Each structure stands twice: as structure tokens, then as C-alpha cells.
Amino acid sequence: MKPLRPEDPEQLGPYRLVARLGAGGMGRVYLATSPAGHSVAVKVIRPEMAEDKNFRIRFRREVAAAAAVGGTYTASVVDAAPDAETPWLATTYIPGPTLAEAVAEHGPLPVEAVLALGAGMAEALIAVHAQGLVHRDLKPSNVLLAADGPRVIDFGIVRARDGYQLTATGGVFGSLEYMCPEQATGDPMGAEGDVFCLGSVLAFAACGRPPFSGAAAATLLYQVVHGWPDLTGVPEPLEKIIGLCLAKDPALRITPDRLSAACAPGGVEQLPTEDWLPAPVAATVARYQAAVLDLVPTPTTAPNAVDIARSTTGANGACPGGSDGQSGEAGDSAESPVAVMPRAEANFEGPTVPEQSDPCEKPARQDPPSRAHRRSPARSGLSRRSMLAAATGLAVAGGATALVAVRGKPRARSASPPVSAPEPNWVYTGDPLLQTPAVFNDGTALLKARPGAMICLDLGNGSHPKWIYQGISLSPTPVLLADGAAVALGTGATVIGVDPTSGSERFTLDFGTDFQFDQLLGAYDGFALSVLGARLERQSTEQGVATSTDAVFAVDLRARQAEVIPISPEDVGIPLQPVVVSDYFVYADGLRNVSVRSTHDAGSLRWRHPVGYDLRPGLAVLGQTVFAIGSELIALELSTGRLRWRAKPGHGLFTSLGAGGNTVYVTGDDPHGVYAFNAANGSRRWFCETPQLDGDHPVTVGPNAVYVAALENKNGFFAIDAAAGRLRWTFTDGRDTGVNGWQIACDRTGHLVAHHYDRVYGLPSA
């Protein structure tokens, strides 16, 4: 904290500047006081940046996107004027050093403090990702250590996950030592990248240095992409937790929700709000607090309600920079403040929000639907635990037996020119769809959309829905067909069954306040469900703060009962993406084993097969064989776990998987393309080279073709002849919708349904 200089402004909007806090590439940060006497941090954009029209556009959109971010472990938004002659924004001031400053002055933090730090940062990411944003620059200087817990700051280069990126093409953003591999290689970075960066920050907090190093930038980036992290001196359990963050493959990283639970098993509500820091660091925090008191008198009033209202709209209730939600030219609305992002170094490269979204709209706090009116629109926002995003298991097909492995170099089929992409039979446009493939039922396709709807489209002409049922949760898994109903989750621990023909509600089962249901994992026995959720435990019978434990539930729809299936420590880690069949619950656990539990017998463990660090979470079951991929494809006997055969790619890794008939299909990353293997003995049938693919999406298997999504969703998806292994066609609508990738489904008769953000395409099969 330094005194103001003669060139510094004395006032910005209603805020009186009292000291300098820091500076960065895009501007300066000042300590200021509000009219009510509250301390705020005000960021001021450099004049040369303010004169750039494109920067103004990015800054407005950044402001609108980051305004939605809240939570205990981020700094509260107060005010902004992105269209003023001198653009500025204000947030609550957090008195305390950055993690970088604290470690430089006092050395690494003790284990207990690092665990509290990890839980708080994970909760901050949950808040960021729940709004569809990615931070992209987690580093020690962007974490403040306050007396009551950490704060993640500097959302200057967050970007909207659902929209478009306006940063400079080809630019690398973030700090080299704390980058994730995706940033280092220039690949798209999603929420998983923030987790990698968080792991690097925790390593720094625990041992005083980043986990990757290099004398030159190129050497350092190579280590981030290919090298092993140096965790020397990091004690357990921190080493294991940090290792789960630093997986090279984004799909193998622990999720923020599970990271929070690993760092704070009793729940973040139980974390200490004082004395969480070692005494020397706490003394530094006290110095910051004292310095502020010397400059800013203690306020005698609560925050001004007008300021709070101004944090969501302009001074006249209009969107900043224009009217009716439209951005105006620079300087159009100099007195129009909006809520913005937390205090940090002045470093702003803007994100964007989805083109389909109102950039001035801040999501309202939403209430759950009334149980008496299940058909009313859903009000529940994206829940904390629904961030445990997971795709469903791959389709189960008819039987196959296995013999021995036959290895050999795959032959790439000749790249004969594909036919033109087919014209859709129909197109449906509506609300944004959840990232789950369609489910087929009696000539219809069932999908899920925001803000909480189940949609039924006729396969003959789905341009208008047959029916829409409102009132389901945003659980990120497809509709399940069980007990004659289309089943989805509601709020709390409710299961909703909808008549798949008429869309009328058949039942709503509420399993009480002791449980929370988050995802439908699968159905079996015709009337039973497997559900991922949490068991809640309270200290008293009163409703309120509760600790939670991840759990899998076996839900019997006919008996109206829910039984907890035990989850062991090995199951915590990567997102749970099981395949659920009649007697078996098959999944990749957190210690990189293929694990199988019984769907009966209270979920007893049948077997575990160790695979290793590169095991992908998506598995497949075909008849009595389990297939898993990573550096190789393995086939395991479903009942015993015995290895039947294994096969390796020419180079690189296998990245996604699908199975149908008597063939297993996998995608590879070196070279890029699709392999077909005989499911019985592992012999290679063919290899079809393609452009780079999205390895996080399973291979969709149809009766005559397989379908795989391109890495960049604007490039659509590819249809490959299942028998000949030749590329037939590529389909795309040419839109770039950020992380909202293509979701592809094909039924046994060849009906192909693909959806992309807010559009559904009914296509003729290949």
C-alpha cells in the first residue's frame, strides 16, 4: 500500500481514492472509500486501453459475465463504470497479503492451512464454473489470505465457457509456472484447466516453489505439458490431493467439488473462520487491517442498498453502454455502473458471454418448484453438487466372447472423398440444451434443456415438440427409461417419472431431507435406478448447516426405497461415469482401477483391476466383457475381472470408446482417428484417420456407421462407415459455442439425432 501520487485521480464515481494498492499490465488498483465509509478496491483502466474500441467491447462483456460470480471465497462486487471516459470497477477490499507475498515473507504454509486454502479455492472455482466461466489465471498472486479464509481474485481474463473468446488470436494467457497443459499447447481450456492451476498453487503453498520449472520459457512449457511435477517436500495427504489436480489429461483431474471434500471432509461450513493461518502470516494480515483503519474510518452504516442495486444494472436500470441490452459505443453511458469482478492486479483480457445470452442479465437467485405444481417451470439453479459433471456410461450391446490378443500395426484406410453432408430432415430450435445425448423411445427422442425441462421430439418431424415437461433439475445426465416412465431428478432428493407418450406426470418420489440426489447414473432390472448424491448429517433435528458424504443410491421405484451403496476412499477422484447393467456397477475409480460393484448385495465390491495413471473414466460393457482405455485397450471378464486381451495404439493414447455388435471402436490422438477392434479377440479391423477429435465424448455407434465429434465444435462431427472404416461425411452448422459441444445419438434403426447448444438436428443415418 503506497500513498497517492500527483497524477492519480482523487475521485472515481462516488469513491474517494486514498492509496495505491498495485499495478498491472492493464491498469492500477486503488484503495478507496465509499460514501458510506466502506473500503473498496477500485481498478482503473490505462488510458491507452480505454481508447481501444475493441477493448471496450471486451471489457463490457467481461463485466457482464463476471458480475454473476459470487460466493464466500471471492471478493464481493460493488460497482463499475465500463463506459466512463476513464473506465473503472470497484469490489470489496480484502485486507491481507497475497499467497505469493506470504510465502515469500514467511515460507510455506503448514498442512492444515494448505488444506483450508485448497477447500476455499475449490469453492471459489465452483462459484465461477457454475456461471459458465473459466478463470484461466490462478496463481499465488491472485489468491488473498484474509483473516477469515482465502479469496480467489483477478477475474480479468476469465472467459465464458458457453460463448466466444475475444482475446487476441494465438495469445497465451496465464502465468507460465502455473499454466495447465492445454494453455501451454494452445488447445481450448475448460474448467478442468483451472483445477490443474489450483494444484500448482497448492504445491507452491506447501513447499514454496511451483511444481514445474525451467530456465527458459520453452523449457518450462515443455515441462508443463510432458514433465512430472516436482512435489519434493510436499507432505501427505497434500501430495495425493495435488497429484489428482495435476493429471495431464483434463478428464482425469479431480473435480472442484470433490477437491473441496478431500481438503475439508467435514464440509467447508466447518472450516475455521479465524486462526486458520500460522501466527506470522496472521500478524501480517493484522498489519493490513491496521493500515486500512488508519486511512478509512470504520463505517457506521451497512452497505448502501442503492449501491447494491446499481451492481446489477445501470443507474437508470439500463444495460451499461446502451439500452435494451445492447452495447453502445465507448462513452455512450459514462454514468452507468454495473457489477464486476473481484479485486486484483489490473490485468484485463476480456471474456465473452454466449451470443444467445443477454450480456446485461444477471441470473436471479432461484427457488425450487412447488411440489404441488410439478408442471410449473423449474426454479432451481445449477446446484453445487451438480458440478460433478459426468457423461453416462456407453451403450450396452449384445454378447461377445473373448479369446487372445492379436497385435499389429493398424492399416489406415484410403481417404476416398466423402459424400456431401446430408441435409437435416428437421431442425428444432429452443432453449439451451444440457450436454447429454438424446434417449430414444417409441419413435421419439427425449432431451433435457434449461431452465429445467424434458422435451419430446418426434423422429419423423421434430421441429416442434410433442410435449415439454417443466420442473426437473439440471442434472447433467440423460433421461432414463424405467418402470414405464421417462425418469429425471427434481430438487432435493426427488425422482420424477413422466409418461413418455403424453408428457403427463406419473409420479414424484421424495426421499426426504437426509439425502441429496445429483445425477442419474443408470437403470437396471426394469424398475431400479442408480443415483449419485450425498447423505446429509446434521448436529440436531433443526434444518440448517449439514455435513455431507458422497454416496451412490440404489433406488427401487416400485418399493419406493433408496439404499446407500458404500463409496470407499478409492472412489473419490475423477468424475464418476459408470456403466450400470443388471447385476454390475462398472466404473473407473480415483486410483485408476477398473472397479465393479454389485447392484444388489448392498453394493459389495466384486473386483478391482489396476490399470494406471492414464485410465480414462469412460468405460464400455459389451455382453460379458468390460472395455477400458488409456495407453492401451483392455478387455476384462465382467464377472471376475480376468484379463481377456489387450491392444495398443501405434503411438499416443486411446481417448474415447464405444461398442456395438461385435466391434469396439476407440479414438486415438497420435495419429488422430478411429480404430475398430474385434470385440472377441482384440484383432484390429481397420483404422480411419481424421482431423483432431474431441476425446471427451464417447464414440456413438449406429447400425451402419460410427460418429465422432471434432475437437472444435464449429467443425461438427464425422460419420465413418462401420464396415469399411472410411469417412462418409462431415456435418456442421458452422457455429462456435465454446464448451457446448455436439451431443450425438443413434438408435438401432439408424435414426440420428445431434444437438448443438440450442438446436437439434434430425439427420438421415450414414
Give the residue numbers marked as catalytic.
137
What is the spatial distance between Cα 77 and Cα 131, in angstroms, rounded to a whole number? 15
DSSP state of 376: S
- Is the distance from CB of 765 to CB of 702 less than 8 angstroms? yes
Closest residue by Cα to residue 110 from 339, 340, 276, 286: 276
- Is the distance from CB of 111 to CB of 235 less than 8 angstroms? yes
Q: For 523-540, b where at least 16 C-beta lie within 10 A, e where not — what string? A: bbbeebbbbbbbbbeeee
Measured between alpha carbons, how far is residue 49 from residues 25, 53, 165, 322, 348 in Å? 10, 9, 18, 20, 10
3-state DSSP helix/strand/coil % of the chain, to nearest 5: 20, 30, 50
C-alpha cell at 585: 456397477
C-alpha cell at 122: 475449490
- DSSP codes, 702-713: -SSEEEEEBSSG
Closest residue by Cα to residue 639 from 405, 402, 407, 406: 402
* Strand order through the sheet with 494-498: 480-482, 485-489, 494-498, 505-510
- DSSP codes, 27-48: EEEEEEE-TTS-EEEEEEE-HH
DSSP state of 194: H
What is the spatial distance between Cα 192 and Cα 211, in angstroms, rounded to a whole number? 18
- In a 3-state reduction of DSSP, which class is residue 743? strand
- Is the distance from CB of 10 to CB of 3 less than 8 angstroms? no
Placement of cell 520453452 in the chain: 218
- Is the distance from CB of 157 to CB of 136 less than 8 angstroms? yes
CA dihedral over 269, 270, 272, 278, signed as positive or negative: negative
Question: At CA 43, angle to CA 316 and CA 188, rounded to 5?
Answer: 95
Closest residue by Cα to residue 536 from 509, 564, 569, 557: 564
Burial class (CB in 10 A: 0-12, 13-18, 19+), 175: middle
Supply the angle between the helices 279-295 and 99-106 in degrees, to the nearest 10: 120
What is the spatial distance between Cα 141 and Cα 327, in angstroms, rounded to a whole number? 32
Q: Show the 3-state SS of 444-458.
A: EEEEEECCCEEEEEE
Chain center to CA of 737? 15
Q: How many CA atoms lie within 13 A of 333 on its CB side?
A: 23
- Is the distance from CB of 495 to CB of 487 less than 8 angstroms? yes
- Is the distance from CB of 321 to CB of 336 less than 8 angstroms? yes
Phi, psi of 218 (to 5 degrees): -65, -40
Q: For 138-172, b where at least 16 C-beta lie within 10 A, e where not — what string? A: bbbbbbbbbbebbbbbbbbbbbbbbbbbbbeeeee
Q: Show the 3-state SS of 208-222.
A: CCCCCCCCCHHHHHH
End-to-end CA distance of the chain, in Å? 65
Residues 6+ apart with CB under 8 A from 37: 296, 297, 298, 299, 300, 301
Parallel, antiparallel or unpaired: strands 752-756 and 743-746: antiparallel
